[in-house]
Every structure is written in structure tokens, then in C-alpha cells.
Structure 1
Amino acid sequence: MDLINLNELIENIQVRNQINEDVEVINNSPLEMIGKGRQGAVFKLSEEICVKLFGNTEDCEREYHALSLGQQSNLFPKIIQKGTLYVAMEMIRGIDLREYLQSQPLTKELSSKLIEMLITFKTIGFERIDHHKRQIFIQPDGNLKVIDVARTIWRDRVYPYPRKLLTSLGEENKDVFLSHVQELAPLLFKEWEHYIQMEEIARQIYQKLMTQPLDSDHLRTSSEILLSTTNEQKHVIQLEGLVHKVFKEEWIKTMLAKGIDPEVVMQKIDQYMDSKYSNHSGRGYVHDRHYEHRYYQHRYQNRP
């Protein structure tokens, strides 16, 4: 199939994105569709070249950028040509890791290649150091190739360990892989183990919170002890104290901004407030004002 006619062939294919589903494809071209996913559909152009057609330009640009970052590595298919909604690339052969593990064991050698894959992701600048096993292909020579790399960049949520890879391996192969990581890269294993434990603790906390009944009647009654506006005299005192605290903080900031030493102002404010509230709080209030004064000195005058 000639690349010169590719744009004409693409015009006869429609790819539409669906919410939480694989794309919808209307193919009026002679090209054979060999796979599809959430972002696009892949068509066979020749024995050596395939073309991935996307439902929108954003996903196309992401895929192209991610592939471009990895062009110096043998891990990624080579880019042949790019259009507005498609990327033509090297056809990837071999067997995907999901199918491979159905009949073959996860060896230490294969685990080391998976670790190297993650190292390559990190080295070339991917944000998500992770990949699903169905997107990892084992070549006849034993090396790995990866496809569908658009979501390794510009992620809103990035896990600090290869969560998707570990989950996709299944419990048995996950344990085998982690045992290999522990032997081959012990520091890396300790970090992953830490995050796995934190995830399990978070899950337990969630379950605990969800199983505890919400006693809104109790809270509605018991929280009344926190109310202050029901006592008019107490309310006035506390409101005036709050206004004073805000005023003092903002006034000190203003003095500092003008290059004026706020020490004299602070002392006068304290003297006024101490005399005003001495009948309410006595020596205890003066004692509190002394420590508040020292707090402001430390916070505003000694700041870098």
C-alpha cells in the first residue's frame, strides 16, 4: 500500500470517541482494522506498516509526542508519517504479555526487561512510569515493544509506583515479579512496598469510614456546646477580640510595608486592650497579651 494514498484512504474512515467505551469505527476503506481502544483504531497498511487513526486531534498529538520521545529506543515502534488524526508507524509483531503469561512463566529475565522498560519510560521523560501487560509485546528475540503510549504523558493522576502493571499481572505473577524486583533492585522494591502498604491502609480507612453510621442527631445536639452567639455578653467579647486580632495583624503588615517599626504601635494597642479587658479577664488576660505580643514579634520582625 502506497503512503502517498494514505490521506485519501483515511478520509473514508470515521473514528468517534465514546464515553467509557472503545471508539466507534465506520470503515469505508479497503484497509483492515486490526484493533481498537478508547482513543483510536489501528489499521493494517502493509506487512511492515500500520496506521492508528484517532477520534480527536488531542489524543493524536499525545500519541505522536510520546512515540517521538522514545524514537531513540528500540522499545517503541518507529514513526513513519503523521497526519492531523493519524500516526503511521512500524507494525509490531510478537505476542503480548497478557497472552504470553497464559502459557509461560514469568522468569527473572523477563522481570528484568520489565524493570528496564520502566527505567526507559523515566529516562525519556514519561510522567506515568507504568503500562498494562496487554500493551507490552514480547518479540521473537526476547526483547520488548510497547504500544498505546499516549496516556503515559499529560496525566492528571500519576501513581508513584507501577500500579497498573502490577494489577494487570494478576496476584500470582505480581508476587513473582515483586520477588524478582526485591532480588534485582532491593531499594526499588522497598519503595514500591511502601506505596503498596500506604494504598492498603488508605483502603482500610475508607472501608472503616463507610461502615461507621453517621449519627447526625447526636452531632446536631452535642455541637451546640461550640456555639457562642447564644450568649450575648460572651458573643460581644469574643467578636471584639476577633476584630482586634485581625486589625493588629493587618496593621503590623502595613507598618512593615511602609518601613516603620511596628513596636511602638504594638505596645500602644496592647496597653489599650489590656486596660479595656482588665475587668473581664483580670491578670489572666494580661498574661495572654504578653505572649501574643512576643508571638507577633517573632512572626513579623524576625521573618526572613
Structure 2
Amino acid sequence: MNEKSDYYIQLNSKVEKMLRTSEFLGSGHNGIVYSLPNQRVIKIFKNKRICSKEYDIFMKTRRSKFFPKVYEHGDYYIVRDYASGERLDKYIKKHGINKEISHNIIRLIEEFKKLNFKRLDIRCKDLYLKEDFSITVIDPKNNYSKKVIYPRHLMKGLNNLGVLDEFLSTVSDENSKIYELWNFNFKQYLEKNIK
């Protein structure tokens, strides 16, 4: 599948046919993503257990506006909507953050709570921002198994981009209790991890 990989996955003829009309979009730790016609993508996983876990999350979130619709899956693949827009971290590098983006990130974490996620966190690179500043999650991981009570990875990414204070200002304006929780926990994280 790619030169740096030492694995082989047997795919059925239907998936092989899809891949013949696809275009490579990118790869990560868990697999490779190709674009398909009709604004869809296919993600081919290295590990069928990880594929199954991601599919389960997509099924539990299927009514949420923050997650792409899934059309089909197999042991090693998922076909879902293409996440249009720009990766959040790349957008912020070019344009910074604004109150509307911050507001939508807060709504996303609130949605995670409504979906009964144990892990209230996501990486900036797993969020896509559309022109209207709405957000789509592309790569959910361990949301029902790993407990994280505030968006640590997200805040770390925003901190590295130099916009964390601006984001937290919006959090404080909208909900002082959430601001206290997130700010306190992130400061503790920084104290433990930055020497």
C-alpha cells in the first residue's frame, strides 16, 4: 500500500474497484485515505480492531452534525463523507482564531458530553473547518474507552499555535465553570510536562 509499510491487507473486489477510481489523500498511523466520487472517502486500516472501533464511534455519532456520514464498512475499511474545508491547525496558522471558531469548538466538546464520550478531547489535525466555521471530526479515537475530562490535546495544539489565550477568553465568556476546569487542568499538565 505504501513503501514504508510492512503489512498486506486482502481487499475484496468491490473495494479494489473503488480504489481504481480513487485518488490518494493521505496516510497516518492507522491507515491510508483515498477520495472517491460523490464527495466520499475510503479509509483503509492496517488493523481490523482499530477499524471496528472507529466504525463503532461513527455509528454512535451518526446523528451528530460534527461527524461524517458512513456509507459502508468492512473488516479493514470505512467509506464515509469527505470532510471539506481546511484542517483546523493549518487554518489557524494562516488566519488565526476567532470567536466563532472558538464557539464551535466549545459546542463540539459539549457534543462529546452529550454523546457520552469518556474522552473529551481531539487533536487540531483531526478537525476540519468549513467556510462557515462549522467543524467536522475526521479521526475519532478512544472516545468511549479512554477518560480525559478536558480537551488537553486540543488545548496543547492551540497553545503551540499561539491562540490558546484567545480561545480560553471565549470559553470564560461562555461558561466560567468550564473555563476554570479546562484552564486549571491544562496548567497542571504544562507544569508536569515542561521542565
What is the one-letter code of the residue matched to 2:29?
R
CA contact (8 A) 1:136 1:147 kept: yes
Q: Deviations over 1:171-192 (max 9, x none)?
A: 4211111111111111111112
Give the greater-gyration-radius structure (CA): 1
- Cα separation, 1, equivalents of 2:75 and 2:134: 31
1:79 Cα offset (Å): 0.7
Q: Deviations over 1:124-167 (max 9, x none)?
A: 12221111111111113331111011333323xx3322110011
- Say yes or no: does 1:72 pair with 2:77: no
- Say yes or no: does 1:196 pair with 2:186: yes
CA contact (8 A) 1:75 1:117 kept: yes
- Cα separation, 1, equivalents of 2:193 and 2:85: 38
Shift in CA distance, 151/37, structure 1 to aligned 2, threshold 3 Å:
farther
The corresponding residue for 1:182 is 172
The corresponding residue for 2:150 is 161
Aligned residues with identical type, % of pairs: 26
1:72 Cα offset (Å): 0.6
TM-score relative to the length of structure 2:
0.84
What is the one-letter code of the residue matched to 1:64?
Y
Q: Deviations over 1:48-100 (max 9, x none)?
A: 21111111111111110111111111111001011111111111111111111
RMSD: 2.3
CA contact (8 A) 1:64 1:150 kept: no
The corresponding residue for 2:87 is 96
- Say yes or no: does 1:39 pair with 2:44: no
SS in 2 for 1:160: coil
CA contact (8 A) 1:51 1:87 kept: yes
The corresponding residue for 1:122 is 113
Question: Structure 2 stretches of 5 or more lacking a match?
Answer: 1-10
Shift in CA distance, 12/78, structure 1 to aligned 2, threshold 3 Å:
closer
1:200 Cα offset (Å): 4.2
The corresponding residue for 1:239 is none
CA contact (8 A) 1:35 1:43 kept: yes
Q: Deviations over 1:243-270 (max 9, x none)?
A: xxxxxxxxxxxxxxxxxxxxxxxxxxxx
- Cα separation, 2, equivalents of 1:202 and 1:149: 26
- Cα separation, 1, equivalents of 2:133 and 2:192: 38
**What stretches of structure 1 move > 3 A for 4+ residues in a row?**
9-13, 200-204
1:36 Cα offset (Å): 1.2
- Cα separation, 2, equivalents of 1:203 and 1:86: 36
- Cα separation, 2, equivalents of 1:113 and 1:147: 16
Residues paired across the two proteins, number:
184
Q: Deviations over 1:203-258 (max 9, x none)?
A: 58xx6xxxxxxxxxxxxxxxxxxxxxxxxxxxxxxxxxxxxxxxxxxxxxxxxxxx
What is the one-letter code of the residue matched to 2:156?
T
- Cα separation, 2, equivalents of 1:166 and 1:144: 16
Matches within 5 A, 1:7-156: 7-10=12-15, 29-155=20-146
SS in 1 for 2:94: coil
Greater relative CO, 1 or 2 (CA 8 Å, sep 6+): 2
TM-score relative to the length of structure 1:
0.56
